[in-house]
């Protein structure tokens, strides 16, 4: 898999403007086609994401905030898609300027919406005419007193926003940001007011749908408060231009990158041709982490799984998940893995394709010494997570082909010695999977961003599942640690999205994610 064909560049706003000018070459119909594609995708995504919060009301009410540019057209067509899908939905259109001052394609999108569902559309006096803040407040109060809105779609301004935001627009931003009468807030491309030089006047979103080109402001952690969760909508802009950005350092992962998982297994394959992973995990007090990692590895399609665990856990674990080969190992008085088990571990490592460790190991120095000595012996591809991410282990680790490290921000700070993620990955010659609100993968000076997932993953056990998945993929593709990481992170995030849309954010187990891996792998929606 050539990664630059399956992962698009992330561009600055100025780079995006230049690229889109070159891409469209002033062809209005080409722009109109892209606008329709973006609007339909935003509408579909928003409908699915609304279900993460609650069941869609029988008569949903959508607030559509429309600027004079193409983001306004995208928002109108997204509303059109929603209202076509939900025949009982109603829309309130609040334009910033009169329609005759909008760009031609925005006007065209408005006409399309009215032609299809005009009877279900209410228009509000445009913002330009509401020069006094009291008038603005009266209009907004009148709108929300009728049970508020199921969702809002922000299409006011895009990457060419002129700062600072002035009244009355700044007043509108303030009122909507403070309002508790909008259930879900969506932004087209990027939240209005957000640029590389943004201040505090930004229209906050729960979901940002980056359309066609992902811009740098949406991936910066300092902007998470404004962007909410991120979705990348691939419009195919780079299908014929990937070579132009082959050396670009920041990339966004596409669902298409899961293609490798969708290939048919060879008709002649057997369990040995689908990878053999040795997982070393768990302690008496942190037993669940080992089980979750093992379950995830099995679910991710590993051919053979051998799991080394403290001997006190063996009988119960082997009964729960007989698909794995469970190896009982000597343990310390406190229930961690003892150094005494090194010889037994070595006897298994000669026949495996990859090694994974970290989940549930605990903090005992003897256990860390065991991991350190194991890694001295095993020179193959490995995944290190959680309690295996210790300076005492990593500082004595010689660079090895196929090393994947999976810290969250706190763990990375512990091991990085003030280095940036890119610097650490380059110096360590590892694939660095930096877990967070959107996970980033660093390798060979390139940063890959997973703009997906859900806060449903923000619970204990999610990282253990990812370790098992990455270990399984690395065992299957031992020569390709980067591919394995890209596949695993995107797969994990997509399954989180589907889980949240089906069951919400709260009343689920971390292991429920495993039930949605199949759907996430086989579908792009």
- pLDDT tens figures, 101-149: 999 999 999 999 999 999 999 999 898 888 777 788 888 888 887 779 9
Q: Report the chain's mean pLDDT, rounded to a whole number.
A: 92
Give this prediction's pTM. 0.94
Residue intervals of the chain classified under CATH 3.40.50.10260 are 3-252
**What residues have CB less than 8 Å from 279, skipping those under 6 apart?**
290, 293, 294, 297, 305, 306, 307, 308, 355, 356, 357, 468, 471
Just give the CATH number of 271-522: 3.40.1190.20
What is the SS3 assignment for 456?
helix
In angstroms, the CA 18 to CA 23 distance is 9
Task: Please tell me what DSSP assigns to residue 55.
Answer: P
Portion of the chain with pLDDT greater than 70, in percent: 97
Distance from C-alpha of 155 to C-alpha of 203, rounded to nearest angstrom: 10
Each residue's pLDDT tens digit, 153-189: 999 999 888 888 888 899 999 999 999 999 999 999 9
Determine the 3-state secondary structure of 304 from DSSP: strand
Buried b vs exposed e over 251-261: b needs ≥16 C-beta within 10 Å? bbbbbbbbebb
Q: Collapse the DSSP code of 204 into the 3-class scheme (helix H, G, I; strand E, B; otherwise coil) and give the result.
A: coil
pLDDT at 28: 96
Parallel, antiparallel, or unpaired: how do β-strands 121-124 and 446-449 relate? unpaired
Q: What is the topology classification, in CATH, of domain 3-252? A: Rossmann fold (3.40.50)
Q: Judging by DSSP bridges, how do beta strands 446-449 and 440-443 pair with one another? A: antiparallel
Say whether the peptide bond before residue 164 is cis (omega within 30 degrees of 0).
yes
Rg of the chain's alpha carbons, rounded to an integer?
25
In tens, the pLDDT along 290-308 reads 999 999 999 999 999 999 9
**Cα–Cα–Cα angle for 417, 420, 423, rounded to 5 degrees:** 95
pLDDT at residue 224 is higher than 70: yes
Band the pLDDT of 4: cuts 50, 70, 90. very low
Nearest CA-CA partner of 110 in 35, 174, 41, 58 = 35
Separation CA 121–CA 292 (nearest Å): 49
Q: Say yes or no to pLDDT of 150 above 90.
A: yes
Place of tokens 């419009």: 235
With H, G, I as helix, E, B as strand and everything else as coil, classify residue 190: coil
User: Taking a C-beta distance cutoff of 8 angstroms, is the pair 234, 213 a contact?
Assistant: no
Q: Please state whether the peptide bond connecting residue 157 to the residue before it is cis, i.e. omega within 30 degrees of 0.
A: no
List strand residue ranges (DSSP E) for 180-287, in order: 182-188, 207-211, 214-215, 229-233, 250-253, 276-280
Most confident of the following: 13-17, 194-198, 292-296: 292-296
> Taking the CB of residue 525, how many other CB atoms lie within 10 A of it?
13
Residue 488 CB: number of other CB atoms within 10 A? Answer: 29
Q: What pLDDT, on the 0 to 100 scale, is given for residue 105?
A: 98
Q: What is the pLDDT of residues 37-78, one digit of tens each?
A: 999 999 999 999 998 888 888 999 999 999 999 999 999 999
Could you tell me where the DSSP H helices lie in 57-129? 70-85, 104-117
Name the residue among 189, 245, 242, 241 with its Cα closest to residue 218.
189
Structure token digits, residue 292: 């979750």
**500 has pLDDT over 70:** yes
Q: Which segments within 285-411 are labelled E, that is strand?
A: 304-310, 325-329, 354-357, 382-384, 403-405
Task: Tell me the C-alpha distance between 267 and 249, whole Å.
Answer: 39
- C-alpha 299/C-alpha 232 separation (Å) is 26
Q: Rounded to whole angstroms, how far apart are CA atoms 213 and 195?
A: 14
Nearest to 385 by CA among 402, 360, 366, 365: 360
- For residues 480 and 401, the answer to whether their CB atoms sit within 8 Å is no
| Closest of 353, 291, 346, 285 to residue 317, by C-alpha | 291
Provide the Cα torsion 479, 482, 484, 487; round to 10°: -150
Task: Find, among 51, 93, 7, 23, the residue nearest to 503 by Cα.
Answer: 51
Which residue has 């919060």 as its token pair?
A: 53
Length of the chain: 525
Concatenated DSSP letters for 406-436?
A: --BHHHHHHHHTT--HHHHHHHHTSEEEEBS
């Amino acid at each position: 898999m050539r990664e630059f064909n399956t992962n698009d560049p992330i561009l600055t706003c100025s780079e995006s403007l230049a690229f889109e000018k070159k891409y469209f070459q002033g062809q209005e119909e080409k722009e109109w086609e892209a606008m329709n594609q973006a609007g339909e995708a935003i509408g579909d995504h928003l409908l699915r994401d609304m279900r993460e919060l609650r069941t869609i009301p029988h008569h949903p009410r959508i607030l559509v905030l429309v600027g004079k540019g193409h983001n306004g057209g995208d928002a109108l067509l997204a509303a059109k898609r929603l209202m076509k899908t939900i025949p009982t939905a109603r829309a309130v259109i609040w334009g910033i300027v009169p329609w005759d001052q909008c760009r031609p394609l925005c006007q065209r999108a408005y006409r399309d919406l009215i032609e299809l569902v005009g009877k279900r559309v209410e228009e509000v006096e445009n913002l330009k005419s509401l020069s006094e803040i009291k008038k603005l407040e009266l209009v907004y109060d009148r709108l929300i007193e009728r049970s508020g809105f199921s969702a809002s779609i922000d299409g006011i301004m895009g990457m060419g926003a002129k700062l600072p935001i002035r009244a009355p627009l700044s007043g509108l931003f303030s009122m909507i940001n403070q309002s508790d009468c909008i259930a879900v807030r969506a932004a087209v491309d990027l939240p209005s007011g957000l640029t590389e030089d943004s201040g505090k006047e930004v229209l906050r979103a729960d979901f940002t749908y980056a359309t066609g080109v992902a811009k740098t402001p949406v991936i910066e952690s300092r902007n998470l408060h404004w962007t909410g969760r991120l979705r990348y909508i691939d419009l195919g802009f780079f299908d014929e231009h990937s070579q132009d950005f082959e050396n670009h350092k920041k990339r966004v992962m596409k669902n298409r990158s899961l293609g490798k998982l969708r290939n048919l297994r060879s008709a002649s394959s057997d369990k040995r041709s689908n990878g053999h992973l040795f997982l070393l995990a768990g302690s008496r007090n942190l037993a669940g982490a080992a089980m979750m990692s093992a379950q995830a590895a099995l679910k991710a399609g590993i051919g053979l799984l051998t799991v080394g665990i403290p001997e006190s856990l063996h009988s119960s674990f082997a009964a729960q998940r007989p698909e794995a080969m469970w190896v009982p190992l000597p343990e310390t008085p406190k229930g961690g893995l003892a150094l005494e088990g090194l010889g037994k571990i070595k006897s298994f490592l000669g026949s495996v394709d990859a090694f994974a460790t970290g989940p549930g190991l605990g903090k005992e120095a003897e256990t860390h010494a065991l991991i350190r000595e194991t890694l001295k012996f095993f020179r193959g591809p490995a995944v290190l997570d959680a309690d295996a991410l210790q300076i005492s282990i990593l500082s004595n680790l010689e660079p090895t082909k196929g090393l994947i490290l999976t810290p969250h921000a706190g763990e990375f700070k512990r091991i990085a010695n003030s280095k940036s993620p890119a610097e650490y990955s380059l110096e360590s010659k590892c694939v660095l999977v930096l877990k967070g609100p959107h996970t980033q993968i660093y390798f060979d000076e390139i940063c890959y961003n997973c703009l997906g997932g859900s806060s449903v993953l923000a619970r204990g056990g999610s990282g253990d599942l990812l370790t098992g998945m990455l270990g399984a993929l690395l065992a299957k593709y031992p020569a390709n640690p980067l591919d394995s990481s890209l596949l695993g992170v995107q797969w994990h995030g997509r399954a989180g999205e589907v889980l949240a849309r089906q069951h919400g954010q709260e009343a689920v187990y971390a292991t429920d994610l495993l039930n949605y891996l199949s759907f996430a792998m086989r579908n792009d929606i």
